[in-house]
Chains A and B, each alone.
Chain A
Amino acid sequence: MSEPALLSVTNVSKTFSGQLALKDVHLDVHAGEVHALVGQNGCGKSTLLKILTGYHRADPGARALVRGRPHSLHELLTVVPLRAVHQDLGLILELNAIDNIGFGTGFQRSRHGGIAWRAQLRRTVSLLEQLGVNDIDPRRPLSAATQVERTMVAIARAVSTWDARRGVLILDEPTSSLPDREAGELARLIRDLAKTGVGIIYVSHALSEVTGLADRATVLREGTVVDTVPVASSSEHDLVELMLGKEKLAHLEQLEVQDNSYAHRSAAGPRSEPMLAASNIVGKELRGISFQVSGGEIVGFAGLAGSGHLELAYALGGARRVVEGAITVGDRSLDLTAGRPITSITAGIALVPPDRTREGLISTLSVAANMSLPSIMQLRGRLFVRRRQERERASQWMTDLEIVPHKPEAKIATLSGGNRQKVLFAKWVTMATHALVLAEPTVGVDVGARLQIYDFIRQYATSGVAVVICSTDITDLLAVCDRVYALYAGHVVREIPRDELSEHVVLAAISGLATPATAIGDSPSEEQT
């Protein structure tokens, strides 16, 4: 390019207590460009953003050029100027647009020291109009505004301190909680903003958006830049390939070597009648999901944040209200409209929730007490809890699952992530007489414990229980699942049988990319009616 980049950083590395999170990353953004930053979970995207915004300091050696001139990396906020809008927007929803923008830029004062509300209102309106937003009432609380309007208020606040000089705007997953049509509307507004000379760094999981919106894309993998490619001339297929990497695929193939197919596992012959079936479940983030799982089968639900795969797990566990839809367990139908976990538990469905700390285990209680929490009635004597039996049962689980240290009376707070996850399994497995629903079963778990957990899930499925795994981590699904349903925006977009299962296929499906197997329109915005 003839003109120097608006912002260009090179040699950015970051080490966290001996762990290299970023290595020699480079990124350049031109004025008027939408530059996508893509990569899988844990690839270093957020670390890079935190360095750019000054939250972390990069390791020595990093350099930054602003409009061709060298600057220190932690001056970017003022020199570029650089602003970020984070996923949760950081707005106070009880207050209106004037106040929310005012907190970012300061309020204009009247002669007597009060706030000049009229001037403040005019300024808010003009700021929003510059962004192409005309139909928002700045005096109404933002809780009444749509998500797109809120996002635009957040953007307006971010850029409100820029006078004539335009800088770089970072948008971190701006569409993760948006329905498709609104995402399209936001994309149009973002394009318009870029045309005014702003450089936009656009971080997203959803590849379909990136291909529709961005000019160039930088792909990160395991802390390094794999490549920066122009989006127009590279296919979605290329981007997926760049995101995945070869070593990981090799690792996955190694996992798949173990024969764990459904037919192999249930030597007695597959049971044909479904153990757990649902038709047209509607609820929070769920827009009509139907599926069937046989006894002994392991079925996965893949999806990105906000696609509904976690909400599905909560719904099955009775933790969230289901608005509509029929669910059957064995031959009984189940009413989950009340959103009471006890309904699912008595029906024999156990939910292993995704958040170990806040939903799964009570860290100040002992391992034994945590394990027996849902199943405590099994341990009741005439009056009191049979503690000896409780400890022995816990001890048996700890041996089976290789939980260390082998102390049933140890508090959960003293255990590592992998061991906590195993305790969580033991806690729920006793209750899963019909179905076991696992949500994000390997978050924050190291590789060794991960393999043990996979092994355990396979073993467990042989007992004839339907196993459902809802995970953002595709590795989990590839390792153990017989079938995977891909979710996107609350719909099942594709059902992938074992022999077609690959990270490539799953990633494409959950990113909302059109696949020949399903009759879905090219752009996600056309999918909705």
Chain B
Amino acid sequence: MTSTAKSDRPPVQTSPPTFHTPWRTRLSVERIGTVYLWVIGVAVFSAWRPHIFPNYLTVVGVLNSVSIPGLLALAVIVPLAAGVFDLSVGYTLGLANVLTASLLADGHSVLAAIVITLAVSLIVGVVNGFVVVVMRIDSFIGTLATGSLILALILQVSGNQEITANVTKIQAFAGRNLHLITWLVLDYSVTGRRIYATGLGREQARLAGIKTGKLQFSSFLVSAFIAGCAGCLLTGIVGAGSPTAGPPYLIPAFAAAFLGATQLKDGLFNSIGTVMATLLLGTLNVGLALATSALWAPDVFNGIVLIAALGLRVTQTSAVSLNPLARLRAARTVLRHPKPPERVDATP
């Protein structure tokens, strides 16, 4: 492309653009609010329960408690980034949990149990993809329905009983690595770009030659695979498979995913933000449990966080900022530089 050599317009004065985000923006509350909330939370609980909260055991407890929700949150952000919901991940987690346990109880090797379980999880992903992408059923309802089917399978495998597995120990083999891979793929790869484009503007992405259906289908495979991994891990931690273990993880996973989306990449579902959100939620949940022993506290907390995160996300992704500070700033700018009212002379 030749530049505008022929035109007689004067060249525009453009300062060389800077590509660096200033530190003030990087550390702003809007970007990494969870970190500040986390610091405040730790301070509050330390002051409230100085003898039991700030110690090594709590740290271990938090890290243990976030491993499963963290993975499941990762499982939901991939479809969410591609613009579809996967509400069946909780059930997939449960299925993987009882399936590994029952395979181990039957005397299969750990490796065989994991491989079979992950293969079954992938089949779940295929079914989800078929229902949503091929049959064009709304993902919200579609994956709710497949979740019900998975629940039936869970009951079939477990006989509605807890299965004790003689687990030799399943390492937290994948947790960190899966986060790392998801982060690299979503943030840096061509595929990640295409996933985000599909999620944010399906028609725009389609016209740009992106195979949006294939990407959404694959995102279901990924989410089912990660949920399967989480299920295997759960069996390793608990040493048993329970038919009721999986579904309760769904809401915390979505809470972490949506809260994570408000972090770092304003409004985009992202891996690191999700990790930060998971750690915050885990810390505050453990703190609440230590401080109050109220059984209902975690559920109330997760529900409130999910609503708050969704509300925040609306303000971030809408064109008009609902942030009162930003509005005030905008109003001030307008007041300082009022536009002269333009009049169109429409007389012929």
* Chain B residue at minimal CB-CB distance from A400: B3
Known contacts A383-B189, A395-B17, A407-B17; is A341 also within 8 Å of B206 by CB? Answer: yes
Do residues A459 and B2 form an inter-chain contact, with CB atoms below 8 A?
yes
Known: A222-B346, A341-B209. A455 touches B204 (CB 8 A): no
A245-B346 Cα distance, complex, nearest whole Å: 12
> B193 at the A/B interface (Cβ < 8 Å)?
yes
- A359 adjacent to B204 (CB under 8 Å): yes
Q: How far is the CB of A285 from chain B (nearest CB, A)?
A: 18
Can you list, as one digit per residue, whether each of B1-32 has a CB less than 8 Å from chain A (1) or not (0)? 11110110000101101010100000000000
Interface residues on chain A, size class: 35 or more
Residues in chain A near residue B6, CB distance under 8 A: 455, 459
- A364-B1 in contact given A19-B342, A222-B346 (Cβ < 8 Å): no
**Is the beta-carbon distance between B341 and A18 smaller than 8 angstroms?**
yes
From A391, A402, A463, name the one whose CB has the most chain B CB atoms within 10 angstroms.
A402
* Chain B residue nearest in CB terms to A343: B209
Q: B208 within 8 Å of A by Cβ?
A: yes
Q: Which of A85-93, A198-206, A297-305, A371-379 contacts B (4 or more CB under 8 A)?
A: A371-379
**In the complex the two chains form, what is the Cα distance from A374 to B193 in whole Å?**
11
Q: What are the residues of chain B within 8 A of A429 when measuring CB–CB? A: 1
Q: Which of B122-130, B159-167, B195-203 contacts A (4 or more CB under 8 A)?
A: B195-203
> Given A385-B188, A385-B189, A406-B14, is A400 in contact with B4 using a C-beta cutoff of 8 Å?
yes
- B213-252 contact mask (Cβ, 8 Å, vs A): 1 or 0: 0000000000000000000000000000000000000000
Contact across chains for A341 and B208 when beta carbons are under 8 A apart: yes
A20 interface residue per 8 A CB criterion:
yes
Q: Does A167 contact B (CB under 8 A)?
A: no
Instruction: Give Cα distance in the complex from A373 to B204, angstroms.
Output: 9
In angstroms, Cα B4 to Cα A462, docked, is: 12
CB of A365 within 8 A of CB of B197, answer: yes
Say whether B184 faces chain A, with CB atoms less than 8 Å apart.
Answer: yes
Q: Would B344 and A406 count as touching, CB distance under 8 A? A: no
Per-position 1/0 for A455-478, Cβ under 8 A of B:
110011011000000000000000
Q: A residues within 8 A CB of B333? A: none
A224: Cβ under 8 A from any B Cβ = yes
Top 3 A-B residue pairs of the complex, sorted by shortest distance between their CB atoms:
A18-B341, A384-B188, A362-B201
- CB contacts (< 8 Å) of B347 on chain A: these are 23, 224
Complex Cα distance A429/B1, Å? Answer: 9
CB pair A391–B15 under 8 Å, yes or no, is: no
What is the CA–CA distance of A427 and B197 in the complex, to the nearest angstrom?
A: 14
Which residue of chain B has the shortest Cβ distance to A379 in the bound complex?
A: B190
Most buried by A among B184, B203, B317, B343: B203
A317 CA to B190 CA, complexed, in Å: 23
Q: Is the CB–CB distance between B209 and A408 below 8 Å?
A: no
Complex interface: chain A residues within 8 A of B1 (CB): 400, 429, 459-460, 463
- B-facing mask of A349-364, CB < 8 A → 1, else 0? 0010100001111111
Given contacts A221-B348, A373-B208, A413 and B319 within 8 Å (CB-CB): yes
Q: A224-B346, A459-B4, A463-B1 are in contact. Are A364 and B15 (CB under 8 A)?
A: no
CB pair B344 A19 closer than 8 Å: yes
Is A319 engaged at the interface, CB distance under 8 Å to the other chain?
yes
Most buried by A among B193, B267, B268: B193
Chain A residues with Cβ below 8 Å from B267 are 364
Q: Which residues of A contact B208 (CB under 8 A)?
A: 341, 345, 373-374, 427
A-B contact pairs, 21 of them (CB 8 A): A18-B343, A19-B343, A221-B348, A341-B208, A342-B211, A345-B209, A362-B205, A365-B197, A369-B197, A376-B190, A383-B189, A384-B189, A387-B188, A388-B19, A399-B3, A400-B1, A406-B15, A429-B1, A459-B2, A460-B1, A463-B1
A20 engages B343 (CB within 8 Å): yes
Cα–Cα distance between A388 and B17 once the two chains are bound (Å): 12
Chain B residues whose C-beta falls within 8 Å of the C-beta of A456 in the assembled complex? 4
The residue that B204 contacts in the complex, of A221, A223, A362, A460, with Cβ under 8 A, is: A362
A505 contacts the other chain (Cβ, under 8 Å)? no
The one of B12, B19, B211 that contacts A399, using a Cβ cutoff of 8 Å: B12
Report how far A376 CA is from B190 CA in the complex, Å. Answer: 7
The chain B residue with its CB closest to the CB of A44 is: B346
B residues 310-348 in Cβ contact with A at 8 Å:
317, 319, 341-344, 346-348
Q: Does A409 contact B (CB under 8 A)?
A: yes
Q: List residues of chain A with CB within 8 A of the CB of B15.
A: 406
Per the bound structure, the CA–CA distance linking A23 and B188 in Å amounts to: 55
| CB < 8 Å neighbour of A224 from B21, B268, B348 | B348
A20 touches B193 (CB 8 A): no
B179 is an interface residue with CB less than 8 A from chain A: no
A377 to B208, CA, bound (A): 12
Scoring A residues 386 to 416 as 1 if CB is less than 8 Å from chain B, else 0, what string do you get? 0110010001001110100011110001000
A380 at the interface (CB under 8 A from B): yes
Q: Provided the pairs A362-B200, A384-B184, A408-B19 are in contact, do residues A376 and B207 lie with their beta carbons within 8 angstroms?
A: no
Q: Give CA–CA (A221, B347) in the complex, Å.
A: 10
Could you tell me the distance in whole angstroms from the C-beta of B7 to the nearest C-beta in chain A? 6
A226 at the interface (CB under 8 A from B): yes
CB <8 Å contact, A408 and B4: no
A224 and B344 CA atoms in complex are apart in Å by: 12
Bound-complex Cα distance A363 to B317 (A): 9
Q: Which residues of B contact A362 (CB under 8 A)?
A: 197, 200-201, 204-205
Which of B209, B267, B341, B343 is the most central at the interface, judged by chain A CB atoms within 10 Å of its CB? B209
In the complex, are the beta carbons of B200 and A364 less than 8 A apart? yes
Which of chain A's residues has its CB closest to B188's CB?
A: A384
B19 and A363 form a contact (CB under 8 A):
no
Q: What are the residues of chain A within 8 A of B12 when measuring CB–CB?
A: 399, 402
Question: Given the complex of chains A and B, what is the CA–CA distance between A463 and B206 in angstroms?
Answer: 27
CA distance A30 to B19 in the complex (A): 66
CB of A43, distance to nearest CB on chain B (Å) = 10
* Bound Cα distance A499, B96 (Å): 74
Q: Which residue of A lies closest to B5 (CB)?
A: A459
Shortest Cβ gap from B210 to chain A (Å)? 8
Task: Specify which of A365, A369, A374, A462 is in contact with B209 (CB 8 Å cutoff).
Answer: A374
Q: How far is the CB of A401 from chain B (nearest CB, A)?
A: 9
Chain A, range 229-261, C-beta contacts under 8 Å to B: 245, 247
Residues of chain A with a CB closer than 8 A to B2's CB: 459, 462-463
Q: Which of A245, A353, A374, A377 has the most CB of B within 10 A?
A: A374
From the candidates A372, A373, A387, name the one contacting B205 in the complex (CB within 8 A): A373
Q: Which residue of B has the minimal Cβ distance to A409?
A: B19
- The interface residues of chain A lying within 8 Å CB-to-CB of B188 are 383-385, 387
Q: How far is the CA of A263 from the CA of B294 in the complex (A)?
A: 84
- Closest residue of chain A to B318 (Cβ to Cβ) is A413
- Shortest Cβ distance from A58 into chain B, in angstroms? 15
A247-282 with Cβ < 8 A to chain B: 247
* Cα–Cα, bound, A388→B19 (Å): 9
A373 & B344 in contact (Cβ 8 Å cutoff)? no
Cα–Cα, bound, A398→B15 (Å): 12
**Chain B: which residue is nearest A369 at the CB level?**
B193
Determine if B348 and A226 form an interchain contact, defined as CB atoms under 8 angstroms apart.
Answer: yes
Q: Which residues of chain A from 180 to 238 have a CB within 8 Å of any chain B CB? A: 221-224, 226
B346 and A342 contacting across the interface, CB-CB below 8 Å: no
Q: How far is the CA of A462 from the CA of B15 in the complex (A)?
A: 29
Given known A351-B207, A369-B193, A373-B193, contact A399–B200 (CB-CB < 8 A) = no
Instruction: Please indicate the chain B residues that have their CB under 8 angstroms from the CB of A223 in the complex.
Output: 344, 346
Q: Which of A37-68 contact B (CB under 8 A)?
A: none
| B344 pairs with A20, CB closer than 8 A | yes
Whether A360 touches B204, Cβ cut-off 8 Å, given contacts A224-B347, A406-B14, is: yes
* B200 partner, pick from A359, A365, A374, A387, beta carbons under 8 A: A365
Q: Who on chain B is nearest to A395 by CB?
A: B17
Nearest Cβ distance between residue A36 and chain B, in whole angstroms? Answer: 20
Interface residues of B in 92-128 (CB under 8 A from A): none
The answer to whether B196 touches A365 (Cβ under 8 A) is: yes
Q: A222-B346, A341-B209 are in contact. Are A359 and B193 (CB under 8 A)?
A: no
